[in-house]
A and B are shown apart, each in its own frame.
Chain A
Amino acid sequence: MQDTARVNRVLVTGLGVISPLGPDTRANLRALLAGKDAVAAVEMFDVTKTRCKTAGQIPDVWLEHAFPPGRVSARLHRGARMAALALREARETASGAEPELMIVGTTAGGMSYGELFYRCLLASKSRKGFARLVGNYTPQKPVQDALELNGLRIPTQIVTNACSSGANAIGHGFELVRHGLRSCLVCGGYEPLCELVFVGFDSLQAATAEKIRPFDFNRTGLVLGEGAAFLILESERSATNRGAVALAEIAGYGVSTDTYHLTQPNPSGIGPKLAMQRALESGAIPAEAIDYVNAHGTATIFNDATEGAAISELCGNVPTSSTKSMMGHALGAAGALEAAFCVLALRDQFLPPNINFVKPDPAWKFEVVANQSRAGRVNYALSNSIGFGGTNATLILKQV
């Protein structure tokens, strides 16, 4: 257990979000309160041969109008636009903060440019436009573009731990500030939807042709989403010195690696359970203190079974929801988006809903926040992320 008396408090002083639920934090908050269903038919690529045909998508119009047209704008991947918008909002919220480092989670980065490169390669002998696609497809390039568009030149660390990447990025940032290695940084994740990953989940039969129903007895699988979210984290001293208003506090972080299988969690639930236990220990927080769990909740049979068992065992009848029910699973950005939703739940004292919920699963003790948001006393919120490769991460956020 950490000696919490000897470490810094870590405050969230800036927040930026773009997701299928809305182009900024305010719109996302409205959507969370309203229980909006942002999952719709996929328009970006052909889905005639896939089982799943829906996803949570960010309308291009939100991305295109945000930057002046020009040479730079023309080459930007939509992931860069998402990241830049979320970063811009986070910096505006934390007016005056000077981050020293950026830690970002993603899985596919600018992969859709790689896909286009491959299709062009097969279809044509001309190499026109290839350089633009190759130069901008790597996961790090959209991050660099986002920094440049926001006038920042700081080091970056890009974590690609599958679906826990965003939570890992925030968790590592939290630890750096907490231990005094950094006083202010920006962390989060971005993830644009792409065909390769969409088909990948479809091929594994993890994606559903129906609605995504996390924790429902009749759940049939996930749908994918996309988005970006960034948090500015500051030590209490840094925030106090510049008179910053804190939105929330990061109070704990835990990780575990479940080596049972590359894509399947250990059925015992030991993976998420260890991550949750370690997060509670790191913040010296009793499990009973958790008022709300934002679950990973992908709605696959395996994920919900193992995560549900872990939540039930550690947190009993705690109110729980998976906000993926509203916008799909944004993979490398999911942990960051869901941490941002927890910040909003803590700040505005409400429980985000788990929509499309019909029939409870008797296997679990926790209470699913079914279909509608509601007001609630939330002092501590716990957010789980569970990824391929057995990477599990838990963040605990606290009201300030």
Chain B
Amino acid sequence: MSFFIQGIGAVTPLGPTSLETWSALCGGQHAPGTRFAKALADRSYFSCRVPGKFAACAARQPRLRRSGTISLLAAAAGSDAFADAGLKLDSGAGEGMAVVFAICSGGINYTRRFYDEIVTQGANCASPLLFPETVHNAAASHMAALLGVNAESYTLVGDSSVGLGAIHFAIELLTMQPRLDRCLVVGTEEVDWLLADAFASWRMATDLDHFEVYGLTNGTIFGEGAAAVLLGRTGSLMIADSSPGLPFRSLKESKSAAREMFGQLRTEGLPEILVSSANGTFADEVERKVFSEIYPAVPVYAPKPALGEALGASALLQVAVAGLALRHQQLPGTVRAGSKLASINRETRSLSSSRALVTCVGFNHQVNALKLYLTPSK
């Protein structure tokens, strides 16, 4: 049984659609790091924000009137994936469809505001309008409502690798439920000063306005956005292999886990491009070592320096980029690439490739990989 990506959607700091994002990435653009306006302490961070107008069409949906940024971004990306597949997103689209969401921090803006009301004003002053949007599956629920899905709707939570796990989960659903024609997989993330400060205390976030990959590991900058892939039973972009991922408990173990995960997907031919999760943290070194050992000559593209580390959305953004690279036979150049990985792709170039490997090393001890093949249309 084979499954294919029929539509690719994204809303990112670089564009309101996957194609506009793709064009910007190939043009060597990167999202500007903008300073958070509101801080809870005397520490300042940058982030890669999505302009509000990019999700404006989603905000006009009555169901999303009170929803947080995370849900608006998800709806915009889902809508884009539908459009990319030549389908219309409406309440009748959900027949024979499942929805699987990948999230990491969830609706952190509303969560912070709600808890702040508890702490600063008292529990009796906490707004009942905010709380429902803090629930992790709120974005998936809104998406299901927009599509008219009345069966499977799942939200998976994890670190920045969770998007690959969500695709695997969706493939499990499609494999087991013949009545499902399609599954929309969405990863979504919003940013907040609180998130940056939390990760900075963990030495994972930088206070600079940019970060380098495969070079200095000063920490990352958080980005927001959403990416969606519409999976179905026909098409040309085939998910050749996927996995729920592997855990690791130490840096040493992370390399063996990555070696096992990235290497086990070599069985049906070497990948011709690698789309990595490098983000200016320890993850870079794990991927660098394993790539150098297993795929020393395969060009590597790392999208995060251009888009920011979008956690719950990031793995699906990587998959979107890999799919677009195969579809357009072009590989963007990695912006702000350091000198530690010889195979990093520095300039946008043409491809003649049909196999891509997407790799993730998550901050919360998960590695995962997904193999994508461009096949004759089925």
Interface set of A (CB-CB < 8 Å, partner B)? 46-47, 49-50, 101, 106-107, 109, 115, 117-119, 121-122, 125, 127, 130-131, 134-135, 138-141, 144, 147-148, 153-162, 168, 172, 175-176, 178-179, 181, 195-196, 199-205, 255-259, 262-263, 274, 278, 387-391
Say if the beta carbon of B37 comes within 8 Å of chain A.
no
Q: Is B254 engaged at the interface, CB distance under 8 Å to the other chain?
A: no
The answer on a CB contact under 8 Å between A176 and B176 is: yes
Q: Is there contact, CB below 8 Å, between A204 and B156?
A: no
Say yes or no: B41 contacts A125, CB within 8 Å.
yes
A156 to B366, alpha carbons, bound, how many Å? 9
B224-282 with Cβ < 8 A to chain A: 243-247, 249
Residues B201 and A255 in contact, CB atoms below 8 Å apart: no
The reply to whether B150 and A160 contact each other, CB–CB distance below 8 Å, is: no
Pick out which of these stretches binds chain A: B191-199, B283-291, B348-356: B191-199
Known contacts A259-B145, A390-B144; A134/B199 CB under 8 A: yes
Which residue of the partner chain, among A121, A139, A155, A255, contacts B243 with CB atoms under 8 Å?
Answer: A155
Name which of B116-124, B318-326, B331-339 contacts chain A.
Answer: B116-124
Closest to B204 in A: A134
Give the complex CA separation of A300 and B152 in angstroms. Answer: 25
Q: List 18 A-B contacts (CB under 8 A).
A: A107-B135, A118-B112, A119-B119, A122-B119, A140-B364, A157-B156, A157-B244, A159-B154, A160-B137, A199-B123, A204-B128, A255-B153, A257-B141, A257-B152, A259-B150, A388-B135, A388-B141, A390-B145
**Across the interface, which residues of A come within 8 angstroms of B197, CB to CB?**
121
Determine whether the beta carbon of A161 is less than 8 Å from that of B364: no
Mark B residues whose CB is within 8 Å of A: 40-42, 99, 103-104, 111-112, 114-116, 118-120, 122-124, 126-128, 131-138, 140-142, 144-145, 148-159, 165, 169, 172, 175-176, 194, 197-199, 201-203, 243-247, 249, 364-366
Q: Judging by beta carbons under 8 Å apart, are B175 and A179 in contact?
A: yes
> CA A109 – CA B136 in complex, angstroms?
11
B309 to chain A, nearest CB (A): 15
Separation of A203 and B118 alpha carbons in the complex (Å):
10
Given known A200-B126, A255-B152, contact A263–B169 (CB-CB < 8 A): no
Q: Are A161 and B153 in contact (CB under 8 A)?
A: yes
In the complex, the chain A residue whose C-beta lies closest to that of B111 is A196
B376 to chain A, nearest CB (A): 28
Measured between beta carbons, the chain A residues less than 8 angstroms from B157 are 106, 109, 138-140, 158-160
Residues of chain B within 8 A (CB-CB) of A162 are 135-137
Partner of B151, one of A144, A156, A196, A255: A255
Min CB gap B40→A, angstroms: 6
- By a CB distance below 8 angstroms, the chain A residues around B142 are 262
Residues of chain A within 8 A (CB-CB) of B246 are 153, 155
Q: Is the Cβ of A140 less than 8 Å from the Cβ of B366?
A: yes
* B100: min CB distance to chain A, Å: 10
Residue on A nearest B257 in the bound complex, by CB: A153
CA distance A153 to B261 in the complex (A): 14
CB–CB B136/A107 < 8 A: yes
Query: Which one of A47, A135, A156, A178 lies within 8 Å of B244 (CB-CB)?
Result: A156
Q: Chain B contacts of A389 at CB under 8 A?
A: 135, 137-138, 140-141, 144, 153
Asked whether B135 lies within 8 Å of A181 as measured between CB atoms, the reply is: no
Residue of B nearest to A275 (CB): B151
The interface residues of chain B lying within 8 Å CB-to-CB of A153 are 246-247, 249
Q: Which residues of A contact B203 (CB under 8 A)?
A: 131
Question: Does the CB pair B131–A204 fall under 8 Å?
Answer: yes
Q: How far is the CB of A126 from chain B (nearest CB, A)?
A: 11
- Give, as a whole number of angstroms, the nearest-CB distance from B20 to chain A: 30
Contacts of A147 in B (CB 8 A): 247
The docked-state distance in angstroms from the alpha carbon of A117 to that of B155 is 25
Q: A155-B244, A158-B158, A162-B135 are in contact. Are A259 and B148 (CB under 8 A)?
A: yes
Q: In the assembled complex, how far is the CB of residue B69 from the closest CB belonging to chain A, in whole angstroms?
A: 16
Given known pairs A122-B119, A131-B202, A140-B157, the reply for A181 and B244 (CB within 8 Å) is no
